[in-house]
Structure 1
């Protein structure tokens, strides 16, 4: 089983790994797009106004541009440790130990606008590039990634069950028919429901932790739902689509 996560805008600084080695990353079939994006981001960092527009940031966030300028020279750390925020706080992979930690690191993968697809232990620098970023004079991220990323995802799904926890913009970079899709809804006392926005990430992080660290190896959506229910989550299933229901 693979649990496919979205990345996060926020990332930890620093790292104790050597500078990025693109050839050492998983899924080498994505190397050409990765190399092009790395070159473009480093070059774009020399023009701060243009970089701000492309990345959707303000002058107060120029540190993000500095990160991109140093992409090929800054230290690295494992992708699963680099990303931060609500989902990753709930996942809390650093608190796992022993066999549970090893299972999690083998099962977790991250969709990325810069790298396409990463395994948990792929060593990456801090960077800024989102699925919605539009680099000057270049096609959209989805247009660039889909032709190469979708075949990689299809091969991955042919070998293992994939639970897709990516947000819509990252799922658009590489569609994956047949994956187990997960939504989160909040149920009010009167039974009406609303889509969960911010805390969607926390519940997906909690589910990712359950799935990634479990001794079980679910083979279909029904087994994924059963595993989540045993962990105390309320889950409904319709085919390959799961809905996590939480109190409003």
Structure 2
């Protein structure tokens, strides 16, 4: 089983690993576009106003531009330690030990607008590039990534269950036919439901942790739901490959 996570806008600064090296990342077939995008971000960082416009930043976020300027020389961290925020707090991968940590390292992947697809231990620098960013004079990131990512993801999905927890803009970078997808729904006392927005990432982080540490190897959505229920989550199937996590309003 593989669990695809979205990245986060916020990232831990610094690191204790060597500078970015394409050879250190998984999926070498993605390296040509990775290098192009890194070079483009480094060049764009030389024009701070243009970087703000392309990346959707305010002047108070100029540190993000500075990070992009040093992408080739900055220290790295494993992907699961680099990303921060609500989902990654709920996942709490740093607290895992022994066999659970090993399973998480093998199962968890991050869909990245800069690096395409990362395994948990792939070393990356802090950066800023969202899936919806529009780099000057370039096609959309989805248009650039899909020809490369679609076949990589298809090959992974051909041999194992894929649970896709990415948000829509990141899922658009590379599609996974047949992946198990998940929505988080809030249920009111009258049993009416609506899609959760604010706490969506926290519940997906809890699910990712349950899937990362289980000894089970789910082969379909029913198996994924069973793992979630054992972790105390209320889950319903709403399609052959789709699950709804139900939380109280």
Q: TM-score range by the shorter chain?
A: over 0.9
CA distance in 2, matches of 1:159, 1:44: 39
Residue 105 (str. 1) matches residue 105 (str. 2): yes
Aligned to 1:72: 72
Aligned to 1:146: 146
Deviation at 1:95, TM superposition (A): 0.6
**Superimposed CA distance per residue, residues 149-187 of structure 1 (whole angstroms, 9 cap, x where no aligned partner):** 100000010121100000000000111110000110000
Aligned to 2:39: 39
CA distance in 1, matches of 2:87, 2:198: 10
Residue 243 (str. 1) matches residue 237 (str. 2): no
CA distance in 1, matches of 2:2, 2:132: 25
Aligned residues: 248
Aligned to 2:8: 8
Aligned to 1:57: 57
Aligned to 1:201: 201
SS state at 1:245 partner: strand
SS state at 2:75 partner: coil
Aligned to 2:129: 129
Aligned to 1:158: 158
Aligned to 1:173: 173
Aligned to 1:81: 81
Residue 19 (str. 1) matches residue 1 (str. 2): no
SS state at 2:184 partner: strand
**Superimposed CA distance per residue, residues 176-226 of structure 1 (whole angstroms, 9 cap, x where no aligned partner):** 110000110000000000110020000000000000011111111111101
CA distance in 2, matches of 1:131, 1:6: 10
CA distance in 1, matches of 2:56, 2:194: 28
SS state at 2:73 partner: coil
SS state at 1:159 partner: coil
Aligned to 1:48: 48
Q: Scaled by the length of structure 2, what TM-score is found?
A: 0.99
SS state at 1:75 partner: coil
CA distance in 1, matches of 2:159, 2:77: 27
CA distance in 2, matches of 1:147, 1:135: 18
**Superimposed CA distance per residue, residues 228-247 of structure 1 (whole angstroms, 9 cap, x where no aligned partner):** 11111110112100000000
CA distance in 2, matches of 1:200, 1:120: 22
Aligned to 1:28: 28
Which consecutive segments of 4 or more residues in structure 1 shift more than 2 A? none
Gaps of 5+ in 2: none
